[in-house]
Each structure stands twice: as structure tokens, then as C-alpha cells.
Structure 1
């Protein structure tokens, strides 16, 4: 595993440890209407103008924030712990989830895991500071520490989500009464926000761009009868199988005359897609 750590420049890529354990998403095998609203596409959607993006951002942010607030208001245990109507950081999260949906910061892994880490660290540090009368009188120090540690962990775990910094800060400065229930509040709110984003963003756009990582994830191993007989293949050759639809090939973007084919496990922004489409048009 030390080969995944670059000591010369102080770099550790956690995905090199985790990605081999995470299977490739099965969306392509689901019915098309379901896979469509989970972000799967045979080909990338066309780039949209800012008027369309502004319209769906307006609808999405309104619905996302309203649904999170309404659901939280109707959970008695939240209200008994004096939970706020809506945690302020969900406002910033809604901007990412419905406006900058191509950003890595808006993808499910970042949006959910970061908020769990932030609320856990924020409440934990707040409780520790409360044990000391002097420390409890300077909550701004605890808030800054929680925000800083959360940011460092997000960088190391590839879950950077700016609103989580606000969650960590608020958990220390204003979340003492809510206590550990803040973790459940943030988890529920983040999941609800993602559900609304899947429904609204996939009407004319595509969300998420990826669920865990833009890098290719391993697919189930398929028995290779030729290799079993001792025949060797070139290292770049795809695995043979009885089902050609499951042949494992390296991830690649194909540019043909008039069209661009991007595999589902490759992350690409709308601007990059526009550039590739221009290249494909030159091939005519």
C-alpha cells in the first residue's frame, strides 16, 4: 500500500485504497426511466443556456430548501431538541446542488459525507470546550478549530463541500442545545436535498455526474475460458466473456463525425463537452 503514498511531495490518495473495494454503479442494468433519474446517460446531455439553468436553479433551490425545512419541522424529536427550522448551511448547499451541478463539490459523496463529518466534529469540539468554563466563553475559537479540522479532513477524503465548513462552525457556536441530534438533522437534510436534486436536475440536465468518483471503478470479474486454458492476452486487451455487453475495456472518450461518446464513469463538464462537440463537427 505504500506505493499509493508519495512521500516526496506529501500526498496520499485515499481513492487508491477505497476504489478497488467499491463496485461499479449498476444503473445501466436498471429500467431506463429509473436509471435516467439516477444520472445514467448513453450520451452526455447537450449544453444548455444560462436562462434554462437559472430557471431550474430557481425551482430546485426553492423545492430543496422547502422540503428539508418542512420535513424537519414535522419530526417531534428534532423539535424537542430545539432544532432550527433549517440549518443555514443548507442554503449554500442548495446553490451547489441545483446551480453548479457539474462541480465535484455538488456530487453525492461530497454533499453527504462532508456534512456528517462536519456536524460530528462540530458538536464534539463544542462539547469538549463546554467542559472548561474559560473555553466555553470563547466559542469562536472552538468554531474556528472545528471548521479548520473539517476542511483538512475533507481534503484528505476527497469530500470537499464548502457548506460543511459552515455546519462545523455553527455546530460549535449555536448547536449546543441541539447536541448530537445535529448529526441526524444534517444526514436527513442532505439525503432529502439529493433526492430533490435527482428529480429536478435530471429533467433537462444530468445529475450526478458521478456518485463516488470520476475514475473507473472495478466491475465484477468474468471468467476467461481462454486464459483458463493457459492462453495469455495482451495487458491492454479486454476480457473475453460469453456476454459481450460485460466486456471490460479501458475508459475512453470517442469522438466521431458529428457526435461525442463519453462513458458513464468519466466526469466531464459542460464546457469541456462543448469543446469536444466542436472538434467532432470539424471531422465532417
Structure 2
């Protein structure tokens, strides 16, 4: 019975977020994703937009919407994406003929390594998974995937987060670097 009770939760929902917080979260996420997309569009391929990987949407939620979370800090953002990208590429290269196994290996290993390195960033799990299931455009990047899109995109989002999150008087980012 205690096992079932655990699933019922034990606290109330969090309080509403102030409109100013919503505004700054929107501005930051808009600019962060837009700049990553613009860099890709201007410097790389104008069609595939490989640099905008899905995990950056989840990173935007953290670094612009939950800026005090340990999971949103620079160490976690950059380390989580880059380590997970390396793990995902390696998993695909080792086990790509079994994509279901390669995907499971990539995500679970990325979580373990992020824990070990204190870089836990939930979107990193998606970055590892995208390295496996991202298709030919991603697979052709090989280990370059670690730098572009994972590393460069995360750095761009961090720069935007530093600029935007510190504009509002009540916001401060980051909480820590290392």
C-alpha cells in the first residue's frame, strides 16, 4: 500500500509565476532558439536546420524558464549536451545496426555519465537519443555532432541566457559556473 501512496504525491502544486517572469522567459527562449537557428541558416545549410536539435527546446525551458534550477546552470547545459552527444555518437557507431538497443544504451549511459560528472541536464538524454535516431544528416556528422550542433548550440543559448536573464532586476543567472 505504501508503494501506491508514493504515486499520489505529497505536496501541492507550485504557485503561479509572475507575469514579468513569464515575459523574460519568453524573450529569452525566443532569442535563444532564434539565434541558434539564424546561425545555422546563415553559416550552414539553409534547409535541414540540423543545428536546431529537439533537445534545445527542453534546454530553453530550463535556462530561460527555470534559471535557478541546478539543471539549468552553465556546467550542466554545456557538459550535459556535449557529453551526451559523444555518448550518443559512440552508441550509434557501436550498435547502429540495432537502433533500439543503441538508443537505450545512449540514453542510459548519458544519464549515468551526467550523474558522475555533476552535469545532469535532462535535455542531454534527448541529445544522446538524437545522435542515434536523427537520421542520415545527423549520422553523417559523426563526432562533429558534439561540436555542431550540440556544443555550439548550447554555448549560443548560454550567451543569450547570460544577456537576457540578467536584464530584469529580479533575475540573476547563473547560480554557479563550476
1:210 positional shift: 1.1
In the alignment, the residues of structure 2 paired with residue 85 and residue 192 of structure 1 have an alpha-carbon distance, to the nearest angstrom, of 11
Q: How far does the alpha carbon of each residue in 1:11-43 deviate from its partner, in whole angstroms, 9 at most, with x for none?
A: xxxxxxxxxxxxxxxxxxxxxxxxxxxxxxxxx
Out of 74, 92, 107, which is 1:108 matched to?
A: 74
Report the TM-score, using the length of structure 2 for normalisation.
0.82
In the alignment, the residues of structure 1 paired with residue 176 and residue 23 of structure 2 have an alpha-carbon distance, to the nearest angstrom, of 23
Residue ranges of structure 1 left out of the alignment (5+ in a row): 1-48, 131-135, 213-284
Out of 84, 94, 112, which is 1:152 matched to?
A: 112
In the alignment, the residues of structure 2 paired with residue 171 and residue 50 of structure 1 have an alpha-carbon distance, to the nearest angstrom, of 37
After superposition, where does 1:220-239 map in structure 2 within 5 Å? none
Q: Which residue of 1 aligns with 2:54?
A: 88
Over the residues paired in the alignment, what is the CA RMSD in angstroms? 1.8
Contact 2:103-2:133 within 8 A present in 1 as well:
yes
Contact 1:113-1:159 within 8 A present in 2 as well:
yes
The structure with the larger Rg is 1
Contact 1:57-1:98 within 8 A present in 2 as well:
yes
Q: Which residue of 1 aligns with 2:36?
A: 68
Report the TM-score, using the length of structure 1 for normalisation.
0.52
Name the SS of the counterpart of 1:84 in structure 2: coil
After superposition, where does 1:4-83 map in structure 2 within 5 Å? 50-76=18-44, 79=45
Report runs of 4+ in structure 1 exceeding 3 Å deviation: none
Q: Which residue of 1 aligns with 2:126?
A: 166
Is residue 208 of structure 1 aligned with residue 171 of structure 2? no
Residue ranges of structure 2 left out of the alignment (5+ in a row): 1-16
Is residue 183 of structure 1 aligned with residue 146 of structure 2? yes
Q: Say how many residue pairs are matched.
A: 156
Q: How far does the alpha carbon of each residue in 1:62-96 deviate from its partner, in whole angstroms, 9 at most, with x for none?
A: 100010111122224xx39x661511100000010
